[in-house]
């Protein structure tokens, strides 16, 4: 049995990753922070397809909650093989209108949350002498979008921390990579006004948004033995947007 924790997996990209890893044979921990119903639906879908797992409510921006989650998962299954750091927040604000609360919340969830989860899971992986950590970055870390200074900064931090962790943990059999999607057809994109969406689409050479499943496919590949010699990389999945 192999075990994967996917943070923020009650919907969107996280849900697609949880479902894909379950199809790959992992027992999946569906982490979430607010929507009980959506998390349970994800788990029900995993079980309907013959997979297994559990839901676990924890705010990854709170170290005590992360420690308890990792402790409980390890107690239940005896191992943790994959961590997908996916839980995050997007708050677009221009610099001159930036609210300090935006800065705090984005860094707490998008940076501190990733550090907390990686740290606690790495302790277990170190004892196993194996494991994979996959951090969800964004094309915004490499491609400037006006109004995304804070979000871009958090995802740039994710890229740098991915590379450093890969060096720190490689000797213990732990690989660390990141996936940097561009525009993905999720509820977040659907909430954007149609004219804005059209403008985004025009900038993508492939002339379409990615599906959440396409992001999950890359996560699945990075978690697999086929990519056993890949670590410290940021895989950009943006349809050519950043070219």
Active site residues: 151
DSSP-assigned beta bridge partners for residue 29: 5, 54
Tokens of 56: 């676990």
What is the distance between the alpha carbons of residues 45 and 63, in angstroms, rounded to a whole number? 29
Residue 53 Ramachandran class (φ > 0 left, ψ -120 to 50 alpha, else beta): left
Three-point CA angle 240, 19, 113, nearest 5°? 75
What is the distance between the alpha carbons of residues 56 and 83, in angstroms, rounded to a whole number? 14
State the burial class of residue 195 (Cβ atoms within 10 Å of its Cβ: 0-12, 13-18, 19+): exposed
Tokens of 113: 């949350």
Tokens of 68: 């308890």
What is the distance between the alpha carbons of residues 200 and 86, in angstroms, rounded to a whole number? 23
Nearby residues of 19 by Cβ (< 8 Å), 6 or more positions away: 42, 45, 46, 49, 216
């Amino acid at each position: 049995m192999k075990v994967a924790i996917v943070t923020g997996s009650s919907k969107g990209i996280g849900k697609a990753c949880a479902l894909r890893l379950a199809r790959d044979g992992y027992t999946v921990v569906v982490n979430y922070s607010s929507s009980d119903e959506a998390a349970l639906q994800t788990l029900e879908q995993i079980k309907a397809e013959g997979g297994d797992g559990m839901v676990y409510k924890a705010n990854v921006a709170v170290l005590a909650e992360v420690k308890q989650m990792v402790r409980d998962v390890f107690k239940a299954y005896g191992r943790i093989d994959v961590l997908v750091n996916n839980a995050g927040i997007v708050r677009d604000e221009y610099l001159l209108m930036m609210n300090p609360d935006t800065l705090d919340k984005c860094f707490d969830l998008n940076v501190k949350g990733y550090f907390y989860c990686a740290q606690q899971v790495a302790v277990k992986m170190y004892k196993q002498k194996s494991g994979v950590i996959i951090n969800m970055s964004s094309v915004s870390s490499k491609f400037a979008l006006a109004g995304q200074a804070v979000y871009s900064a958090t995802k740039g931090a994710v890229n740098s921390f991915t590379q450093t962790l890969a060096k720190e943990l490689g000797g213990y059999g732990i690989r660390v990579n990141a996936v940097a999607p561009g525009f993905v057809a999720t509820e977040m994109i659907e909430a954007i006004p149609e004219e804005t969406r059209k403008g985004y689409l025009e900038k993508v050479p492939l002339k379409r948004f990615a599906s959440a499943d396409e992001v999950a496919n890359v996560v699945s590949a990075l978690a697999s033995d086929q990519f056993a010699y890949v670590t410290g990389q940021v895989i950009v999945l943006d349809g050519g947007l950043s070219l």
